[in-house]
């Protein structure tokens, strides 16, 4: 055996012994001989660690401030009283409404908030050749217990609306339900596109009460008062 081969074998043997020694040391198997890695003991850090399993959610107590960034509960009342709104109203309705409300309520108590009037889709049958034909169709619909609503688009006269909806999908769903009740030759039509409009918002305060709003009923176009959103 040559001297070079003996030196290589010795180097390999030493490397194996070193690896074995490190393994025994790192696995804390030489602790009995006074050898082993240093144990990290910092009880003060462990005491400060968050324990998720011990965490509890608590509702804020009345009278105590909420944490920064948390949203306050929604309320329909303003700082001085209840807030009510009605609408939306289209541009022509808003003009008439502004005149009526301006004459009936103090200026600080109300405002018109720009809000689009949603598009209107209907289940439609027509157009017919004469009013007599429409009356015959009304009788047929009454026999099927299907109600008729007024049309707001004069271009769809002579015809009948069997329900209005804010989306085409809702109108199509209603049409399928009416077909199951015996309706034929009806279709979904957009009676009105989305239009500019406004919502009337009123703050009840300073002696202004809900009962005083009853005088505005004729100009509300059938819209009801609801809490402000």
**Per-residue pLDDT at 183 exceeds 70:** yes
Instruction: Identify the domain containing residue 84 by its residue range.
Output: 77-117+197-227
Q: What pLDDT, on the 0 to 100 scale, is given for residue 35?
A: 67
**Pair 186, 82 in one domain:** no
Domain count, the chain: 2
pLDDT digits 0-9 by tens, 120-155: 999 999 888 898 998 999 998 999 899 999 888 888
Indicate whether 185 and 159 sit together in one domain: yes
Torsion of CA 83, 85, 91, 96, to 10 degrees: -80
pTM equals 0.49
145-154 confidence digits (pLDDT tens): 999 998 888 8
pLDDT in tens, 188-222: 999 989 889 999 999 887 677 777 788 888 888 88
pLDDT value of residue 213: 82
> Are residues 162 and 174 both part of a single domain?
yes
Domain CATH code at residue 105 = 3.30.70.2030
3-state SS, residue 9: helix
Query: What's the CATH number where 185 sits?
Result: 3.30.70
- In a shared domain, residues 143 and 186: yes
User: Based on the domain organization, do 109 and 82 belong to the same domain?
Assistant: yes
| Vertex 115: Cα angle to 110 and 119 (nearest 5) | 140
pLDDT for 71 equals 37
Do residue 216 and residue 203 come from a single domain? yes
């Amino acid at each position: 055996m040559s001297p070079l081969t003996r030196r290589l074998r010795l180097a390999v043997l030493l490397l194996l012994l070193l690896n074995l020694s490190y393994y025994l040391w790192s696995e804390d198997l030489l602790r009995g001989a006074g050898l082993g890695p240093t144990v990290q003991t910092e009880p003060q850090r462990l005491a400060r660690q968050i324990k998720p399993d011990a965490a509890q959610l608590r509702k804020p107590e009345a009278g105590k401030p909420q944490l920064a960034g948390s949203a306050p509960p929604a309320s329909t009342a303003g700082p001085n009283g209840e807030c009510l709104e009605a609408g939306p109203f289209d541009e022509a309705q808003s003009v008439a409404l502004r005149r009526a409300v301006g004459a009936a309520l103090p200026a600080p108590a109300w405002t018109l908030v720009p809000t689009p009037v949603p598009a209107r889709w209907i289940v439609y049958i027509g157009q017919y050749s004469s009013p007599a034909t429409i009356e015959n169709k009304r009788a047929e619909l009454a026999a099927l217990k299907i109600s008729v609503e007024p049309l707001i688009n004069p271009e769809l006269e002579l015809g009948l609306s069997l329900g209005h909806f804010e989306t085409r999908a809702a109108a199509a769903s209603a049409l399928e339900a009416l077909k199951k009740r015996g309706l034929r030759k009806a279709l979904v039509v957009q009676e009105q596109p989305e239009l500019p409009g406004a919502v009337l918002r009123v703050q009840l305060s300073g002696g202004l009460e809900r009962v005083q709003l009853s005088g505005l009923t004729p100009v509300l176009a059938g819209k009801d008062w609801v809490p402000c959103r």
